[in-house]
Amino acid sequence: MLYREAGQFKTNYASDLAVFPILQDRMGIAAILLVAFVAVPYFGNDFLLQAIMIPFLIFSLATIGLNLLTGYTGLLSLGTGAFMGVGAYACYKLETLFPGVNIIVWIVTAGFASAAVGVLFGLPSLRIKGFYLAIATLAAQFFLQWCFVRIPWLFNYNTSGAIEVGTHTLFGIPITGPNATSTTRYLIALSIVVVMTWFASNLVHGRIGRMWMAVRDMDIAAELMGIRLLPTKLLAFAVSSFYCGVAGAMLVFLWYGGAEADVFSINQSFFILFMVIVGGLGSLLGSFLGAAFIFILPIFLRYVPPHVGMSIFPATVEHITFMITGGLIIFFLIVEPHGLARLWQTAKQKLRVWPFPY
């Protein structure tokens, strides 16, 4: 009984409504935040921050975005990459048109452009579902990617066709561009992700989250209870695309430092979808677990074997990674559609009753 709520009684609804009603959970969250905000930047080297933590945070945010749409509302989208791209290009345009405003404002504001585009491509969701909707979002993916290449205004007519990130500062400290340290960029990414995760958690635990899940589980019953399907689905598209858009802007401005259209290709969409599936449909925690798994596992496979004296060709590592990831996705689809998040819950349940079997 390492982990349990014995003796923790809720005497009012407010405390029972808390997202983490159990003390150990709250302490766990506090510990994670402490490690993330203090220990990681203090002890972490450039490699950890730049190659692992920053992208992990960005992909987690995009995964939360897609999870709100696919996991919580049951609407499959293959346009995640493009919606991320809309955020990135919008941020770039805003930043170059209004250089006086702080870049963090534009990174977040870019999400609104993405949300608007998401709503537009979400309109067919009233009439079509499942695979057919996925195909509609696929059309969005290709159309938007075409725009990123063919509309030079979007990348300010750069001959390279790429968007480039200049140096921006906050209180005199560079936060984007070549002069910004990975620590600063990490802390900014972390702050954005923490706040947006908190918002997402509040949404899914309240009326709006219940409406999304109701539409996902039984749309007819939801409709007959007075939940309007189209506005509910469009809200999911808007919020989801907002998250993906901010993630896209962060990807360019806080990680890559520049990007071309093919960063936001269909591959990116699938990459995020895999994170959602492996992490767990309809789970915020799962979004982080999925992003960690899909993104960090290959890095692990690449760097750990040489350290323990095994020499594997990079190409072999690539193949192994593909095979493992593919195998895991199939495993999760068949055995545990609720992903790593559900495995974690099961483990927690076991701890709660340990040493008894139940």
Contact set for another protein, span 230-259 (CB under 8 A): 235
Binding residue (CB under 8 A) for another protein from 4, 129, 210, 350: 210
DSSP string, 330-342: HHHHHT-TTHHHH
Under rule CB under 8 A, residue 304 binds another protein: no
| φ/ψ (deg, to 5) at 168 | -125, 150
Is 138 in contact with 79 (CB distance < 8 Å)? Answer: yes
Shortest Cβ 166–another protein spacing (Å): 32
Under rule CB under 8 A, residue 194 binds another protein: no
Shortest Cβ 20–another protein spacing (Å): 12
Q: Cα separation of 225 and 211, whole Å?
A: 10
| Pick 228 or 319: Cβ nearer another protein | 228
Is 59 in contact with 272 (CB distance < 8 Å)? Answer: yes
Under rule CB under 8 A, residue 226 binds another protein: yes
Closest CA to 255 of 13, 34, 60, 109: 60
Binding residue (CB under 8 A) for another protein from 23, 218, 304, 323: 218
Under rule CB under 8 A, residue 119 binds another protein: no
Closest CA to 296 of 264, 268, 267, 325: 325
Site string for another protein, 271-300 (x = CB under 8 A): -----------x------------------
Q: Which residues contact 144 (CB under 8 A, 6 or more apart)?
A: 79, 82, 83, 85, 86, 117, 264
| Pick 141 or 232: Cβ nearer another protein | 232
Binding residue (CB under 8 A) for another protein from 133, 154, 193, 203: 203
Residues forming a β-bridge with 169 = 174
Q: Cα separation of 77 and 79, whole Å?
A: 6
Is 262 in contact with 91 (CB distance < 8 Å)? Answer: no
| Pick 14 or 315: Cβ nearer another protein | 14
Binding residue (CB under 8 A) for another protein from 134, 213, 312, 343: 213
Stretch that binds another protein, among 40-48, 183-191, 216-224, 265-273 (CB under 8 A): 216-224
Percentages helix, strand, coil for the chain, rounded to the nearest 5? 75, 5, 25
The β-bridge relationship of strands 173-176 and 258-259 is unpaired
Q: How many residues bind another protein (CB under 8 A)?
A: 30
Under rule CB under 8 A, residue 228 binds another protein: yes
Is 107 in contact with 283 (CB distance < 8 Å)? Answer: no
Shortest Cβ 94–another protein spacing (Å): 22
Stretch that binds another protein, among 34-42, 210-218, 259-267, 315-323 (CB under 8 A): 210-218
Stretch that binds another protein, among 34-42, 59-67, 158-166, 218-226 (CB under 8 A): 218-226
Binding residue (CB under 8 A) for another protein from 14, 308, 315, 335: 14
Stretch that binds another protein, among 30-38, 60-68, 223-231, 303-311 (CB under 8 A): 223-231
| Pick 114 or 265: Cβ nearer another protein | 114
Is 3 in contact with 24 (CB distance < 8 Å)? Answer: yes
Stretch that binds another protein, among 81-89, 122-130, 203-211, 345-353 (CB under 8 A): 203-211
∠154-157-158 over CA atoms, to 5°?
A: 105
| Pick 77 or 283: Cβ nearer another protein | 283
Q: Cα separation of 12 and 15, whole Å?
A: 6
Would you tell me how many other CB atoms lie within 10 Å of the CB of residue 170? 14
What residues make contact with another protein under the rule CB under 8 A? 13-14, 16-17, 19, 199, 202-203, 205-208, 210-211, 213-214, 216-218, 220-228, 235, 282
